[in-house]
Amino acid sequence: MEEWRRVPEVATPRAVGAAFGVFYVAGGLVALLVAAAGPTGAPGRPVLTALGASALVVGALVAARRAHLPRLATHLLAAAATGLIGTAVLVTPDPRSAVLVAAVSVFVAVDTGVFFARLHALVHLSACLVTTTAALLVHGGVGLLGALALDLVLVAVALVVGVLARRASSASVDGLTGLPNRRGLDDALERLALAAGRSGGPLSVALVDLDGFKAVNDASGHDAGDELLRATAARWRAVLPRSALLARVGGDEFAVALAAPPAELALVLSPVVRDPGRPASAGVAAWAPPEGPAAALHRADAALYRAKRAGRARCEVAGPETASVALAADLRAAVAAGAVRPVYQPLVAADAPGGAPVGVEALARWTHPVHGAVSPDVFVAVAEAHGFVGELGAAVLERACHDLASLPEARDRGLVLAVNVSGLELVDDDYVERLAAVLDRTGWPAAQLVLEVTESVVEGGDERAVATLLACRTLGVRVAVDDFGTGYSSLSRLDRLPAAYLKLDAGFTATAHTCAGRARLVRAVTAMSRSLGLGVVAEGVETPEQGRVLAGLGCDLLQGFALGRPEPLASLAARLRHPSAAPAADARPGAGRADVPAPRGATADDATPGSRAPHPAV
């Protein structure tokens, strides 16, 4: 039924307006010529002349405003044309002229076949056939067979033209998702580039590839893969700006174009790339005249490849773009000057959420002197794209180890320091040596350091990254698989990874306290983790109730705004010295709300802490 309601791609406002304008003018001229050729005293001649003149005026007005013709107006024009033709047939002076005027109905048949969805086309064509046939029969002189012969011509014209119009449209449309295909993308990019060249405005393109799509096809079949592509196209179309062009260029690869700088397109793509249910990787490039859009797509493809190799679920910006180069230069200078500094978010034991932190995660922060605070998703991507993410990571790691080593309470309590690591760092040959040197210089114990890597990094298949993690473990450093629950295939590799912890992504745990199904899933993950000797950290804890439920489901550590926001070193030191003086969880946004619903269908066992097997010591 959806196909019957779909308007052909050729039905653009300009094309519809031009066609209706020409047909009205042509129909008006036919009426005027028939009136002029008829007997001078014929009673219907003035009416026919008036109808022809009216059609000429309407046609001229429609042609003049063809770019602004609303969809409703096209239906009104088609209905009006049917009425005008039927009236003109009735007032013509002789049967031959009546047939000639009735033949103008072929214009309506063409319009319905080309510019209307099939259901609307059927309605308009039926109305035209009934009106014309009735008018010919009432006029007299043309028998039923003659009227039906004309009807047959109209139906044939509408069908043939409709088929041709839809085939022309489908040549540029992907049959699975309804998005433009590669041909449609090329045509659209040429138009966008022409407009950008005239205005001098920016134009950026991106190639986006679903992560783990092959695993879906292999595990569930191609029908499931097709359904995933359709659902993904619908979701992306909903979250992207209306001005963005979205196309499917083949397989699980999509293209996006936007009249904006690359950094803005990268930000627009962030909900697509970080979608917990369907993570993706993206490469972004700027179109730079006089090159063609194909050259920008080629650079975007190279950036997409880097994103896949770097760990997936990320967006890479292709260089060199002026804005990106300038931001990279500022960031590199900030790294060298020590202006990129970590803040620390507490991790607390699930069985004692009100106690002192048992660990902290170091989160990099950078405030640009002009643009203000820059998101880590943006500046880390810039560092990766311009080849100095290793310098950035080393600076944050050293600063964090130095900060924590300066706090006697942190060392004495065995506080764990978790630091994020880029996939590109792990493939550096000397990463392990640099890590050992940092630990030696700062004096921070290796046993109290945890390297956090996203599950997409270890899913990516680069054995060098896994080998680096194994070498880090020989130093005594532990590994956490971050953002667990956002990818597809890490589950099958957990037994091969040198991991000590799983960190459940906030999107995975957000509804564990309100949805019994999600609660059971979290419990299953924690049980599996314990059987593998892994600890479980739940991220995104925003309310005390959520924390209590996650603790009851088997999570060992909790992290989130309800338990502590990221804070500078001085605040962390005060928290460690005086745990009771730390801000209460109820004072933070989202914590302690009275309207938090109870788990739907959850049993007491689902929400109450139970006995847990021993987990890796924190």
The pLDDT-based confidence of 404 (bands split at 50, 70, 90) is very high
Give tens-digit pLDDT for 491-512: 556 666 778 888 887 777 888 8
Q: Are 18 and 11 in contact (CB under 8 A)?
A: no
Lowest-pLDDT range, 60-69, 81-90, 473-482? 60-69
Q: Are 461 and 487 in contact (CB under 8 A)?
A: no
Task: Give me the DSSP letters along 55-123.
Answer: HHHHHHHHHHTGGG--HHHHHHHHHHHHHHHHHHHHH-SSHHHHHHHHTTHHHHHHHHHHHS-HHHHHH
The pLDDT-based confidence of 13 (bands split at 50, 70, 90) is low
Give tens-digit pLDDT for 455-489: 655 554 456 778 888 899 999 999 998 877 654 44
Residue pointed to by tokens 């304008």: 21
The pLDDT-based confidence of 428 (bands split at 50, 70, 90) is confident
Q: Select the more confidently predicted residue: 445 or 612.
A: 445
| Spatial CA neighbour of 191 closest among 238, 236, 233, 245 | 245
Average pLDDT, integer, range 305-311: 77
Q: Is the pLDDT of residue 490 over 90?
A: no
Most confident of the ranges 118-127, 289-298, 505-514: 118-127
Task: Give me the DSSP letters along 5-43.
Answer: GPPPTT--HHHHHHHHHHHHHHHHHHHHHHHHHS-TT-T
Average pLDDT, integer, range 142-168: 80
Amino acid at 306: R
Query: What pLDDT is recorded for position 570?
Result: 92
Burial letters for 329-341: b for 16+ Cβ neighbours within 10 Å, e otherwise?
Answer: ebbbebbeeebbb
Query: What pLDDT is recorded for position 14?
Result: 62
CA angle 278, 282, 286 (to 5 degrees): 150
Euclidean distance between CA atoms 275 and 296, whole angstroms: 25
Average pLDDT, integer, range 143-157: 85
Q: What's the chain's average pLDDT?
A: 80
The pLDDT-based confidence of 163 (bands split at 50, 70, 90) is confident
Amino acid at 142: V
Q: Is the pLDDT of residue 306 over 90?
A: no
Q: Is the pLDDT of residue 396 over 70?
A: yes
Average pLDDT, integer, range 586-610: 32
Euclidean distance between CA atoms 47 and 53, whole angstroms: 10
Query: What pLDDT is recorded for position 337?
Result: 94
Q: Is the pLDDT of residue 286 over 90?
A: no
Query: What pLDDT is recorded for position 335?
Result: 94
Q: Select the more confidently predicted residue: 527 or 293.
A: 527
Q: Is the pLDDT of residue 527 over 50?
A: yes
Q: Are 132 and 86 in contact (CB under 8 A)?
A: yes
Lowest-pLDDT range, 166-170, 441-445, 453-457? 166-170
Euclidean distance between CA atoms 136 and 146, whole angstroms: 9
% residues pLDDT > 70 (the chain):
84
Query: What pLDDT is recorded for position 78?
Result: 87
% residues pLDDT > 90 (the chain):
22
The pLDDT-based confidence of 578 (bands split at 50, 70, 90) is confident
| Element holding 374 (H helix, E strand) | strand 372-374
Query: What pLDDT is recorded for position 329?
Result: 85
Average pLDDT, integer, range 575-586: 59
Tell how strand 245-250 and strand 204-210 pair up.
unpaired
pTM: 0.49
Amino acid at 523: R
